[in-house]
Amino acid sequence: MYNFDEANSRIGTSCTKWDRYESRYNLKDVTALWVADMDFNCPPEVSKAMIRRAEHGIFGYTDPTEDCLQAIIDWEKRHHEIDVKKEDIVLTTGVVYAMYTAIEMLVKPDEKVMVMTPVYPPFFNTPASLSREVIYCPLILKPEVRIDLVKMEEQLKHDSSIKVLIFCNPHNPVGKSWTKEELRELLEITDRYGITVISDEIHADLVFQPLRHVSMLGVDQKYNHHIILLGAPTKTFNLAGMKISYALIPHREMCTEFAKRAKASGLSSINIFGFEALTAAYNHGDVWLKECLNYIYENMVWLKGFLNEHLPLCKYDVPESTYLAWVDFSGYDVPDNFAEILKFEGHVELQDGRGFKDSDGYQRINCACPRATLEKGMQRVVSCMKEKGWLS
Ligand SMILES: Cc1ncc(COP(=O)(O)O)c(C=O)c1O
């Protein structure tokens, strides 16, 4: 049994989540429930593998090991039921960087990219930074999350310059785990209009039972030549600082071209510790992940109870996947800068939903932390809202 109630303090490690308050804002004692990494220690087997490698003492240029590629193949088979060929794997130093490379490769400067909002901001910021126009096809959020297939088809029919759909599977921030049928309907349309799908599956391992992640590459072989899957062990095992991820590209020429670009830009030049971390996590992390997911799920359920009791006008359903709770605060008369006020006056940081587009009133709350941290943060939200007179 792993103990997720306790973790090393991250303060003083220059971590993005906790360590910028004092240096940037001269703020002390803020509870950080924002950026998407965990506050849990990673599996001990991963730390041990890295210590073993560190003890060797020589860290020159290093190629991907066969073990590392095999670990990806085994993991994808065991957890997502897909058969990955070694030659379809391109190791990368981050999913967003891989997305950037794929967009640059597939979309000419006068062509366009489709995204489904609300969504992780690099989905629209990355194409925009490459001067590729972004076409928005918002998700239908109520009464339940759905892809707006009708709107999507209309947009594709009327604009043949849309070449790529960037899709989040499962979805950050709404926590939706897409079914095979939903993905099949989506792929039927993208196939009809010659669209390539970049499927970001970084949250694939964080689906709560009894649901199971459906890989975009596991829907139907006939669509796989138009899919680039981006995967990583980094959300799953809290390894974001390791900068290790991978692209799976069954289309041979597309894969060769992507690998060529990745090599030229340094994208595929992986840190030694990245190989070690991925291999150890994928080969030895199953039990840790199962227990970690149970713990996160319990945090999600606790949050539901807490909101029902203290903030009953918040709308929130325990998500199907991810460790990110997506909470609608619009029942309360809070100002647009609610998240800022919580941070600077309430000493708790949530992730302002507006950054994800089409989500006014929402806050994203990171539940991958010891329960005590989540409780403290949520108590601070309530205290701040009381002080401001937003709760009667
Ligand atoms: C959907 C999604 N893709 C990619 C990333 C970031 O991946 P990387 O750090 O490998 O660039 C995140 C991080 O939150 C994410 O939620």
For a pocket test of ligand 1, which of 95, 126, 169 has the largest count of ligand atoms closer than 8 A to its C-beta?
Answer: 95
> Can you give the pLDDT at residue 300?
98
202 lines ligand 1 (CB under 6 A): yes
183 lines ligand 1 (CB under 6 A): no
Number of domains in the chain: 2
Would residue 3 count as lying in a domain? no
Looking at the fold, whether 305 and 339 belong to one and the same domain comes out as: yes
Percent of the chain with pLDDT over 90: 97
- Cα-to-centroid distance, 139 and ligand 1 (Å): 19
Looking at the fold, whether 91 and 234 belong to one and the same domain comes out as: yes
* Cβ–Cβ under 8 Å, residues 138 and 187: no
Q: Which of 249, 284, 319 is the last residue of a domain?
A: 284
Would residue 8 count as lying in a domain? no
pLDDT, tens only, 100-151: 999 999 999 999 999 999 999 999 999 999 999 999 999 999 899 999 999 9
110 burial level (CB within 10 Å; 0-12, 13-18, 19+):
exposed
Quickly list DSSP for 65-111. PHHHHHHHHHHHHHHH-----GGGEEEES-HHHHHHHHHHHHS-TT-
Looking at the fold, whether 75 and 128 belong to one and the same domain comes out as: yes
For a pocket test of ligand 1, which of 34, 100, 235, 321 has the largest count of ligand atoms closer than 8 A to its C-beta?
Answer: 235
Tokens (6 digits) for 278 = 């991925």
240 lines ligand 1 (CB under 6 A): yes
Domain of 195 in residue numbering reads as 46-284
Q: Which of 228, 251, 284 is the last residue of a domain?
A: 284
Q: Which has the closest alpha carbon to 190: 164, 170, 211, 214?
A: 164
Q: Name every residue whose Cβ is closer than 8 Å to that of residue 310 and which is 6 or more positions away in sequence.
A: 378, 382
* Cβ–Cβ under 8 Å, residues 200 and 166: yes
Would residue 373 count as lying in a domain? yes
99 lines ligand 1 (CB under 6 A): no
**Helix, strand or coil for residue 137?**
coil
Amino acid identity for residue 341 in this structure: I
Looking at the fold, whether 134 and 270 belong to one and the same domain comes out as: yes
Looking at the fold, whether 29 and 141 belong to one and the same domain comes out as: no
> Can you give the pLDDT at residue 307?
98
Q: Which helix (H) or strand (E) holds 338?
A: helix 338-344
Determine which residue's CA is closest to atom 9 belonging to ligand 1. 94
**At which residue do the structure tokens 């943060």 appear?**
377
* Cβ–Cβ under 8 Å, residues 134 and 154: no
Looking at the fold, whether 60 and 87 belong to one and the same domain comes out as: yes
- Cα-to-centroid distance, 57 and ligand 1 (Å): 31
Distance CA 44, CA 60 (A): 25
pLDDT exceeds 80 at position 392: no
199 lines ligand 1 (CB under 6 A): no
pLDDT, tens only, 247-306: 999 999 999 999 999 999 988 889 999 999 999 999 999 999 999 999 999 999 999 999
* Cβ–Cβ under 8 Å, residues 30 and 341: no
* Cβ–Cβ under 8 Å, residues 200 and 95: yes
Would residue 4 count as lying in a domain? no
DSSP secondary structure code for residue 63 in this structure: P
> Can you give the pLDDT at residue 267?
86
Would residue 89 count as lying in a domain? yes
Amino acid identity for residue 233 in this structure: P
Determine which residue's CA is closest to atom 7 belonging to ligand 1. 95
Would residue 9 count as lying in a domain? no
Q: What is the pTM of this model?
A: 0.97
Q: Is 243 left (phi over 0), alpha (psi -120 to 50) or beta?
A: left
Q: Residue 332's domain is classified under what CATH number?
A: 3.90.1150.10
Band (pLDDT 50/70/90 cuts) for residue 367 is very high
Q: Which helix (H) or strand (E) holds 197?
A: strand 196-200
200 lines ligand 1 (CB under 6 A): yes
Looking at the fold, whether 269 and 332 belong to one and the same domain comes out as: no
Nearest atom of ligand 1 to the alpha carbon of 35: 14
Q: Residue 133's domain is classified under what CATH number?
A: 3.40.640.10
Distance CA 66, CA 60 (A): 18
190 lines ligand 1 (CB under 6 A): no
Average pLDDT over residues 203-211: 98
> Can you give the pLDDT at residue 233?
98
> Can you give the pLDDT at residue 342?
98
Mean per-residue pLDDT over the chain, rounded: 97
Looking at the fold, whether 215 and 273 belong to one and the same domain comes out as: yes
Q: Which of 284, 308, 334 is the last residue of a domain?
A: 284
351 lines ligand 1 (CB under 6 A): no
- Cα-to-centroid distance, 28 and ligand 1 (Å): 28
322 lines ligand 1 (CB under 6 A): no
Across the strands, what pairs with 113?
134, 164
Tokens (6 digits) for 337 = 């800068």
Would residue 295 count as lying in a domain? yes
- Cα-to-centroid distance, 202 and ligand 1 (Å): 6
**At which residue do the structure tokens 């149970």 appear?**
294
Looking at the fold, whether 372 and 296 belong to one and the same domain comes out as: yes
> What is the maximum span of the chain, computed from C-alpha positions, in angstroms?
62
Looking at the fold, whether 93 and 34 belong to one and the same domain comes out as: no
Looking at the fold, whether 126 and 226 belong to one and the same domain comes out as: yes
> Can you give the pLDDT at residue 268?
83
- Cα-to-centroid distance, 364 and ligand 1 (Å): 15
pLDDT, tens only, 57-110: 999 999 989 999 999 999 999 999 999 999 999 999 999 999 999 999 999 999
**Helix, strand or coil for residue 143?**
coil
- Cα-to-centroid distance, 118 and ligand 1 (Å): 15
Looking at the fold, whether 228 and 333 belong to one and the same domain comes out as: no
Would residue 2 count as lying in a domain? no
> Can you give the pLDDT at residue 141?
93
